[in-house]
Structure 1
């Protein structure tokens, strides 16, 4: 039996229509059917803009309530989600449960939700009140309709995208990826479970359309956007830019690469453990995943020996997901290429991981799937040519003290994040995401400026412009 996934429009699960759906063959060998847009579903989606007339406290409390359900291992929605990730997307049980755990963490972290608003927008009150700022009062308003074009490789990126829009009181129209149609649907459905009539629930729509087919109906959805948040590869980002309306900002989270720097560690086990985590999390499908390791120092063989142990450890505690024939073939091809080039190549049992020790100027295929190139260098200057603006996202470093020495050079070269090894998937509150403070793009600021009799620090008289023009006394204003 083929699983059918209906769309959700403004918090209401729609009846599945076998005459308006697309059958998708997944890499796992299973098939699913996804609802497609119809004239009726487009009209219902665009019928009215749902305003989230809530204060931030009410928003955070609702998300926390939903998160408490995800925290409960017996919650039916959570159990179904884990089962779907395993059966249809090939996740290991450990990977699937970790994904559900992270959803619970993001929703339940009330302090972090407040802090995200505070650090991105400057105050937790600016969404609810007029705040004095300089010579004005300022308030942040939701952009309106946020359209999220999600990728399927990192489910939590979609959850993060949606939460940012909810925190800023935007309506969400979520276009899921055919490679992960489950996460956004599960999240929106859990809102329905908690309160089907809640303003946040009613502001959520989840749908799907193919990028390479008739764009007539999807374009009508896109034309409705006030802000577009695009995730994915180069083609997905180009599609978003092409089909977004001229008035809408496009927030792009496109393809990036990441690397690790290890500087002659005293604790080889701790260093290798952090690198192994940064390689294994999401099987390198994420932008923050380490693909290259640069080792500064003389004891590389000791590090490699310990890294083998840690990669084997992760093969047990966080097993890889199911790989299809093409992915396995790419893995084998990369291994053979490394051997043919004369590099030292090491691999785990059953393609659990792959290490290729090669010069910095070598380039080879990168099949991901826990494959890493390791380069021995003499100092940081040999690493900097491989840190590039707009393409290098995360640089993870061990020991932490080394990051303090190198952060200025790394930042000037184009690195967007600098973290301790083993922390690449933890985006600390207050940090930038791809060099941006995303919530600033999800709001518009309105300023209410003070009247003429308000005197400023530089102009200590009332601003009587007509009088000063008549008397030619403009220079009174000049400090």
Structure 2
């Protein structure tokens, strides 16, 4: 594990205390234990080198290494990287999973499966579909595309390679795979700020790339480091328009608010804000026992997406029916969540604040119905309005409504995914959901998978990443 080792008084080695988290800077692995940090959720120590800020910045006087590499070659390299990640003989990735299991809150099997599943994004058809959905003419990524307007004026347009700082989240290793791929597709210079929950996956991917070809322009365009969010010895220096064009921010409200203060002329924020996803279940769920079982099972699948750590995981389920009907739904939903929780191997209990909130509701029988206990094995709370805390760790809040029309008032700009049942009523609600601020409506049970190339968080991200450059060339014949 290359961990920092504690020593007994006699000099003998004790247990491994601090896991090592190396950096990757423009093709070079950088190891060291100069800085000791704590992981966000578990408080586990990990060691990193000191950041070489000069190495983390690619001079603007030099064009990006990937600029004139054909997009087809970029995609071929990403595809080969995906194959290497999935190779069980890839010692780099096996070691990464070992280290990550020390700092991440999710069980080993979930972490490993997420990394392998995410690597399937590195598929030629998927990557090309992503590009084609983001760019009306993908040729703009490879060169200067000639244009002319109705007056005869000529120009050339290019989706020029950007300089990006990616502030990655810690809830899913899959974001690292996708972020690296997207940074390569736009041929950008990319600096990845890893999270304290996962200061390993990004480096493991880049090391795998370097094993394929250490001199490849993709490898030379990528760096991955860690610093504590808000570190005033790092961020005011790096977050400047003379070094980077965009900050690509993932994370909670505090993390995004921290990034906002660096935004200004020449440095834009592409923000994947903190989001909450919900379910909407119509009265048709009570047409039969089979329909009720199906709706509860589909809803549990959305609740348990990445063990309810992902933004797409449902936290509030608005159910149309009487209290007796909604209680039947809640009971079956709890059963399905508990089954999925047991199968996942994730047995961590709810934190103390959440535990106290749930236990208080258990004593208020007239206002709430509660199925399960706050023991991390799954709990469902039935209420007439959404609870005022963030359901997490296999916690579902079922909100009874007389009509799904009443649920629409709870939609806002932080509502990401809406899982809907029955499916044939979705067209009746999609405009109202969009007006409220929601960004995605899907079949109940399908919060996780998404159509390749679709917008994410209400935007085509790659289109926003690039630096759109125009070469005006006067009037034709002039």
TM-score by length of 2: 0.86
Task: Determine whether 1:58 maps to 2:73.
Answer: yes
Alpha-carbon contact 2:307-2:341 (below 8 Å) kept: no
Q: Counterparts in 2 of 1:41-440, with a 5 A limit? A: 41-46=52-57, 48=59, 49=62, 50-52=64-66, 53-107=68-122, 109-131=123-145, 135=149, 138-215=156-233, 217-223=234-240, 224-244=243-263, 246-263=265-282, 264-265=284-285, 267-298=291-322, 299-320=325-346, 322=348, 327-342=350-365, 343-347=368-372, 350-360=375-385, 362-388=386-412, 390-440=413-463
Alpha-carbon contact 1:225-1:245 (below 8 Å) kept: no
Task: Name the residue aligned to 2:12.
Answer: none
Task: Name the residue aligned to 2:9.
Answer: none
Q: CA deviation at 1:341?
A: 3.0
Q: CA deviation at 1:357?
A: 0.6
- Counterpart secondary structure, 2:384: coil
- Counterpart secondary structure, 1:106: coil
Task: Name the residue aligned to 2:6.
Answer: none
Q: CA deviation at 1:262?
A: 0.9
- Alignment CA distance shift 1:404-1:138 (3 Å): farther
Q: CA deviation at 1:119?
A: 0.8
Alpha-carbon distance in structure 1 between the residues aligned to 2:371 and 2:219: 50
- Alignment CA distance shift 1:295-1:367 (3 Å): closer
Alpha-carbon contact 2:341-2:394 (below 8 Å) kept: no
Alpha-carbon distance in structure 2 between the residues aligned to 1:258 and 1:133: 42
Alpha-carbon contact 2:85-2:205 (below 8 Å) kept: no
Structure 2, unaligned runs of 5 or more: 1-15
Alpha-carbon contact 1:300-1:376 (below 8 Å) kept: yes
Alpha-carbon distance in structure 2 between the residues aligned to 1:352 and 1:446: 53
TM-score by length of 1: 0.86
Q: CA deviation at 1:47?
A: 5.2
Alpha-carbon distance in structure 2 between the residues aligned to 1:250 and 1:47: 19
Pairwise CA RMSD of aligned residues? 2.4
- Counterpart secondary structure, 1:320: coil
Q: CA deviation at 1:308?
A: 2.6
How many residue pairs get aligned? The number is 443
- Counterpart secondary structure, 2:139: coil
Q: CA deviation at 1:185?
A: 1.6
* Greater Rg over alpha carbons, structure: 1
Alpha-carbon distance in structure 1 between the residues aligned to 2:39 and 2:164: 29
Alpha-carbon contact 1:396-1:424 (below 8 Å) kept: yes
Alpha-carbon distance in structure 2 between the residues aligned to 1:134 and 1:404: 40
- Alignment CA distance shift 1:449-1:211 (3 Å): closer
Alpha-carbon contact 1:115-1:124 (below 8 Å) kept: no
Alpha-carbon contact 1:78-1:100 (below 8 Å) kept: no
